[in-house]
Amino acid sequence: MNPTNSTTPLNDPMIPVPIPEQVPAKEGLAELPGTRLWYWDTDSDGTPVVFLHPATGSALIWLYQQPVFAKAGYRVIAYSRRNHYGSDMATEENPGIGSEDLHNLMDFLGVKKFHAVASAAGGSVATDYAFSHPERLLSLTVCSNNLAAKDGYIADIAAKIRPKEEEDLPRWFWELSPSYRAANPEGTENWIELNRRSIPKKGPRQKVANVVTPAKLDTLRVPTLLMSGPADHSTPPSITRMLARHIPDNEVVIIEEAGHSSYWERPEAFNRAVLDFIGRHSK
């Protein structure tokens, strides 16, 4: 294990970044075993990069990533999990396994190998997939998530830093850093609106296929980029570095001034870190 720790200053975090014009992408509703999932796909000949959204988002949120990764030569794909924009709701009787939905979607789209790029709750699905189907991943990027850890000291510490009172606070308070909210009130409103559209109503949580412990992380065999922001209330850099102790092939990037939604708050820093990483793992 030889993690690389770096910090990304790049653009001034107090200067708002405009949302770029999107490139053409086809949209569809994938008919999968047990559900239908909404997705968009730039459908190019490039190496596929699949974005997995946080619990507060959907396939709608990757406005800062879609054109940047497409223009870098990648086939860019995002989808909404069950209970999120455009996709079916999960049922109480059978909510399904998120990583298996991902696997079925990749088969539906004809994608054999890909880079997974996930934020927050999307990281739990992506990590579960990495344990179940490592042969399908070129790399794994997880930002602001403890890799679905359920048992062991990492899960215990992560649980202790999330008080019960958080459920009574608005999601933008937990997801967006104070620096971002101060510098970009318009961007904050856009984030809130995307959050509103992404979750039409609350559904049951999906299951995972693997129980992640520190010992389980020791067996992860996919090149992994771990990212977090100093203003992240739930997955601060300390949690990220705990994870890095266990993953054999990992790099760590801390995005200055960012909170839980660095893909939105600091998109230039987020994109550059991910593009650099996947560019070294695309063969």
Q: Is the pLDDT of residue 1 over 60?
A: no
Look up residue 15 and give its amino acid. I
**Residue 219, pLDDT score:** 97
Look up residue 116 and give its amino acid. A
More confident residue, 82 or 165: 82
**Residue 43, pLDDT score:** 94
| Percent of the chain clearing pLDDT 90 (strictly above) | 85
Q: Which residue segment(s) compose the domain that 65 sits in?
A: 4-279
Report pTM. 0.94
Around Cβ 189, how many Cβ atoms within 10 Å? 11
Number of domains in the chain: 1
**Residue 3, pLDDT score:** 44
Q: CA 59, CA 271: separation in Å to the nearest integer?
A: 17
pLDDT tens-place string over residues 229-250: 999 988 999 999 999 999 999 9
Q: CA 265, CA 129: separation in Å to the nearest integer?
A: 27
Q: Which two tokens stand for residue 99?
A: 């990583």
Nearest to 48 by CA among 127, 147, 116: 116
Question: Strands 75-79, 35-41: parallel, antiparallel or unpaired by DSSP?
Answer: antiparallel
Around Cβ 31, how many Cβ atoms within 10 Å? 10
CATH of the domain at 176: 3.40.50.1820
* Strand-pair partners of 29: 38
pLDDT tens-place string over residues 200-217: 989 999 999 999 999 999
**Residue 14, pLDDT score:** 74
Q: What angle do CA 273, 275, 279 make, to 5 degrees?
A: 120
Pair 145, 229: CB distance under 8 Å: no
Per-residue pLDDT band for 280 (boundaries 50, 70, 90) equals: very high
pLDDT tens-place string over residues 7-62: 444 567 778 889 999 999 999 999 999 999 999 999 999 999 999 999 999 999 99
**Residue 11, pLDDT score:** 61
Pair 101, 95: CB distance under 8 Å: no
